[in-house]
Amino acid sequence: MSFDPSQFVIPVIDLRRGQVVRARRGERDRYRPIVSDLCAGSEPVVVARALLAHAGARRCYVADLDALLGGTPQIGAMATLCAALPGIEWWLDAGFADRSAALALLGELGRLGVGAARVAPVFASEALRSPEAFAECFAGAPSGPDDALLSLDARDGQRLDVAGCWDTPTLWPQRVIVMTLERVGADAGPDLATIEALRPRAPRVGFIGAGGIRDEADLRAAAQAGAHAWLVASALHDGRLAPRRG
């Protein structure tokens, strides 16, 4: 089968208090500033540019940990990224509880004039407040973000899902992230079983895995399991994936 890692790998940056931090097992309050083989320091633009160049990618996933931990979204940091890297599509998880929260943040970015149309909100099952909020995000609500993604979140085999996202495949959008939090930054290997189990439930969906990638062999195994792409950070920072050019 044909396999192009530059199209398959989606770099990740986790932002905490204006810095990029290293994610590990989803224990967000314990993340520390990134130390990378690809660049010096933890400034978001520097790190994002290095990751994207190494992976040859044109998309980047951003986890706003301040917002995910109940604080204020880092709109300034996101605006700076958009302005500095104008050709990139950004997937932003900022702990959106509902569609209005995402639209408010996108509106703020738009008022800053930094290309908010290139920012796709990620609605995470761990953050959506109710089944009604979930349905409003993906049931064709007017003026909603039609490029939004859903993230199906789990930790240690337990779904993080007050809104019932996992059990409602009829509402899943075209792009769905499968986030296995205990494997993030843990070098535990990708969770292929969940991808394989979900595919028959929604054949039209492109599933994007998250967590566990260690090397090129893991990428190939993920593609063979039916993943359309995979979110990667540690294996890029540590030089375990060869550089590509987009």
CATH number for the domain spanning 153: value is 3.20.20.70
Residue 4 burial class via C-beta count within 10 angstroms: exposed 0-12, middle 13-18, buried 19 and up? exposed
Q: Is residue 243 part of a domain?
A: no
pLDDT in tens, 87-146: 999 999 999 999 999 999 999 999 998 777 899 999 999 999 999 999 999 876 444 456
pLDDT band at 66 (very low <50, low <70, confident <90, very high): very high
Q: Is residue 214 part of a domain?
A: yes
| Total domains, the chain | 1
Q: What 3-state class would DSSP assign to 192?
A: helix
Q: Is residue 231 part of a domain?
A: yes
Q: What are phi and psi of 185, to 5 degrees?
A: 65, 15
Structural tokens at position 10:
């989606």
pLDDT in tens, 70-100: 999 999 999 999 999 999 999 999 999 999 9
Question: Which residues form the domain of 72?
Answer: 5-237
- What pTM did the predictor assign? 0.93
Q: Is residue 178 part of a domain?
A: yes
List CB contacts of 235: < 8 A, sequence separation 6 or more. Answer: 213, 214, 215, 218, 241
Predicted confidence at residue 81, as pLDDT, reads: 96
Count of alpha carbons within 13 Å of 66, Cβ hemisphere only?
A: 14
Q: Is residue 242 part of a domain?
A: no
List CB contacts of 240: < 8 A, sequence separation 6 or more. Answer: 214, 215
Count of alpha carbons within 13 Å of 197, Cβ hemisphere only?
A: 8
| Position with higher pLDDT, 86 vs 187 | 86
